[in-house]
């Protein structure tokens, strides 16, 4: 939802031309309202061959198994957000060892930055915003069906999570193949940046 009034002077916002594009802006004081996607940090943490997953307790994808993740706060780095969210959601301490990739789709409002890491300590204890936290072996990665009536963000996020954790069955009956392939959603999608083995 776009604000109707200027946060600086209280004037009514209108559409203004800023460089080559039209944006909401304040004709009275010249303030321009920029709208940018928010960074979200995610961590693929492993202990030997097991992957740390949570069953999400909040939307989007409430009830889905996914790696721990959350919005980056203004006073922290993206890496710190990944570690904080993982600790909060699972009780596990992790050492980041690389970048899996940066994933986004036009219009969805987030940029997902996914790290890889190794479990370094802690004890499994699900946080308040997850329903469960577990270390799962590759054989145990839960099959889960996509949110076929969900929002575009739900579908994109489900496909991406499936790809990241190797979930086997987002392509069950009634789905379109695009559910499994995030690249099929949204013009301008860019993903796969990074090879997973960058030094931090
Ligand atoms: Zn103003």
* pLDDT at 185 (0 to 100): 37
Instruction: Please give the tally of structural domains in the chain.
Output: 2
Q: Which domain holds residue 7?
A: 1-35
Tell the residue number behind the tokens 């999570």, with chain if given: 161
Distance 34 CA to ligand 1 centre (A): 14
Same domain for 101 and 3, yes or no, is no
State pLDDT tens for residues 62-118: 999 999 999 999 999 999 999 999 999 999 999 999 999 999 999 999 999 999 999
Same domain for 166 and 73, yes or no, is yes
Report the range out of 36-40, 176-180, 193-197 with the highest average pLDDT. Answer: 36-40
Compute the mean pLDDT over every residue in the chain, rounded to the nearest whole number. 84
State pLDDT tens for residues 132-154: 999 999 888 888 877 677 889 99
Report whether pLDDT(155) > 80. Answer: yes
Distance 9 CA to ligand 1 centre (A): 4
* pLDDT at 168 (0 to 100): 60
Distance 28 CA to ligand 1 centre (A): 5
Distance 138 CA to ligand 1 centre (A): 55
Question: Is position 140 within any domain?
Answer: yes
Question: Is position 89 within any domain?
Answer: yes
Same domain for 46 and 31, yes or no, is no
Distance 16 CA to ligand 1 centre (A): 12
Distance 109 CA to ligand 1 centre (A): 25
User: What is this structure's pTM?
Assistant: 0.79
Question: Is position 25 within any domain?
Answer: yes
Question: Is position 200 within any domain?
Answer: no
More confident residue, 195 or 158: 158
Residue 26 belongs to domain with CATH number: 2.20.70
Residue 82 belongs to domain with CATH number: 3.90.79.10
Question: Is position 165 within any domain?
Answer: yes
Distance 25 CA to ligand 1 centre (A): 8
- Quickly state the pLDDT bin for 176 (edges 50, 70, 90): very low
* pLDDT at 91 (0 to 100): 98
The 3-class secondary structure across the chain, one letter per residue, is: CCCCECCCCCCECEEEEECCEEEEECCCCCCECCCCCEEEEEEEEEECCEEEEEEECCCCCCCCEECCEEECCCCCCHHHHHHHHHHHHHCEEEEEEEEEEEEECCCCCEEEEEEEEEEEEECCCCCCCEEEEEEECHHHCCCCCCCCCCCHHHHHHHHHHHHHHCCCCCCCCCCCHHHCCHHHCCCCCEEEECCCCCCC
Question: Is position 18 within any domain?
Answer: yes
Same domain for 146 and 111, yes or no, is yes
Same domain for 10 and 68, yes or no, is no
Same domain for 28 and 105, yes or no, is no
């Amino acid at each position: 939802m776009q604000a109707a009034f200027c946060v600086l002077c209280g004037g009514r916002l209108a559409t203004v031309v800023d460089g080559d594009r039209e944006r909401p802006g304040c004709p009275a004081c010249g303030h321009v309202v920029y709208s940018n996607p928010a960074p979200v940090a995610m961590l693929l943490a492993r202990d030997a061959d097991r992957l740390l997953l949570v069953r999400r307790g909040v939307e989007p994808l409430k009830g889905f198994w996914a790696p721990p993740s959350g919005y980056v706060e203004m006073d922290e780095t993206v890496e710190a957000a990944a570690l904080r969210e993982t600790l909060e959601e699972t009780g596990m301490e992790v050492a980041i060892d690389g970048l899996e990739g940066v994933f986004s789709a036009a219009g969805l409002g987030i940029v997902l930055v996914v790290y890889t890491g190794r479990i370094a300590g802690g004890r499994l204890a699900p946080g308040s915003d997850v329903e469960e936290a577990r270390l799962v072996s590759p054989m145990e990665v839960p099959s889960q069906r996509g949110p076929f009536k969900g929002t575009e963000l739900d579908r994109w996020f489900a496909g991406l999570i499936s790809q990241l954790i190797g979930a086997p069955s987002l392509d069950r009956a009634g789905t379109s193949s695009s559910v499994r392939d995030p690249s099929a959603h949204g013009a301008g999608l860019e993903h796969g940046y990074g090879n997973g083995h960058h030094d931090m």
